[in-house]
Amino acid sequence: MSLNKIISITWLLLVPLTNTLTVFSQDNGENTVRVMFYNVENLFDTLDDSLVDDSEFLPNGVRGWGYRKYWDKINALYKVIVASGKWSPPEIIGLCEVENRGVIEDLIYGTNLSNYGYSIVHGDSPDLRGIDVCMIYRKESVRIINYNYFEPENWKEEGFLSRKVLYAECELLGDTLHLFVNHWPSKRGGVLATQERRLEAAKEVKEKVDSTYTRFGKNAKIVVTGDFNSSEDDEVFEILTGEEGSLELLKNNAQGLGTYKYQGKWENLDQMLVSNGLLSDTGGITTDHGRYTVIASDFMLIEDKSYSGLKPFSTWSGFNYQGGYSDHLPIVLELALH
């Protein structure tokens, strides 16, 4: 058994289990829960998985990905998660670019996140590199009623291998939240070559959102988040927000920053969309544009020497190891009980 797994199991045995949901009360008198999304940039372990193409992230691979770099990465992500909370880490965190359940266990049991009682929702995706979408949540404030993964039917029929979408029905603050966590196909290989796949993903998510309204009513509380590999003005969002859609895209309030920087230009590839039931005073949990933010602490940014200004302090710059955090910035939405 690897040392990584021994550490994970040791921490797992130390974490107490509880079925009691606790409502967090903040200094302003509100009861709130925060939902975070973070593309963690290639969180691979150091073990060879024969079922996926993880060869470059091995000790003898082109990146020289060894034990020390791996644990530096784990602790870097822990630092970001803690910094993303106001008084304590977010209650719900969606993650993408994680290789397997083991790396998530190392994150929440092998760091001081073990003090916050996180649990895991994870499922393997058919992505060629083996990267998955998952979520972690604090058991004292969130209960998972059910969850599942889905993808467009034609992807399976055509053998297109990418990340599945995670849907989770969550109980929190005495209400129900329907959460969809995404990591849509990237623009690698050309925008036009992959745009149709992102449109297919958008249509599939819309279908599942519509089904949620049918089942739970027009005031269902829904959050759709993730790395969409599309800017906010892309046509894919029209499917979810236009005349046919039923969600609202939250506005980035971080002046001059996006979540990802490409060739000197900030882009908002990571987004949150919410239902009208969350934006209206219909009772239970609610939110608004002012409760959504991009997290950009000073330590998470580095000088952009090729262009100007700042950019995310990533773990890698191409194949050069920098020892940073991620090439994306995390986003956080606060939900309040009114």
Q: 309-333 burial string, b = 16+ CB within 10 Å, else e? A: ebbbbbbeeeeeeeebbbbbbbbbb
| pLDDT of 13 over the 50 cut | no
Q: Where are the domains of the chain?
A: 3-15+31-331
Q: Taking residues 78-83, report their average pLDDT.
A: 97
Query: When comparing pLDDT for 91 and 190, which is higher?
Result: 91
| pLDDT of 9 over the 60 cut | no
Bridge partners (DSSP) of residue 166 are 149, 181
Task: Compute the distance between CA of residue 287 and CA of residue 290 in angstroms, rounded to an integer.
Answer: 8
Give the least confident one: 181-190, 227-236, 278-287, 327-336. Answer: 181-190
* 125 alpha-carbon distance from chain centroid: 15
At 40-57, the pLDDT tens digits run 999 999 999 999 999 999
Q: What is the pLDDT of residue 192?
A: 66
**3-15+31-331: CATH number:** 3.60.10.10
175: CB partners within 8 A, 6+ apart:
221, 284, 285, 337
Confidence bin at 191 (pLDDT 50/70/90): low
The chain-wide mean pLDDT, for the chain, equals 91
At 238-280, the pLDDT tens digits run 999 988 789 999 998 788 899 999 999 999 999 999 999 999 9
Q: What is the pLDDT of residue 86?
A: 75
Give the least confident one: 10-19, 76-85, 317-326. Answer: 10-19
Confidence bin at 28 (pLDDT 50/70/90): low
Whether the CB-CB separation of 304 and 282 falls below 8 Å is answered with no
Whether the CB-CB separation of 72 and 129 falls below 8 Å is answered with no
| pLDDT of 12 over the 50 cut | no
**Given its phi and psi angles, is residue 262 left (phi above 0), alpha (psi -120 to 50 degrees) or beta?**
beta
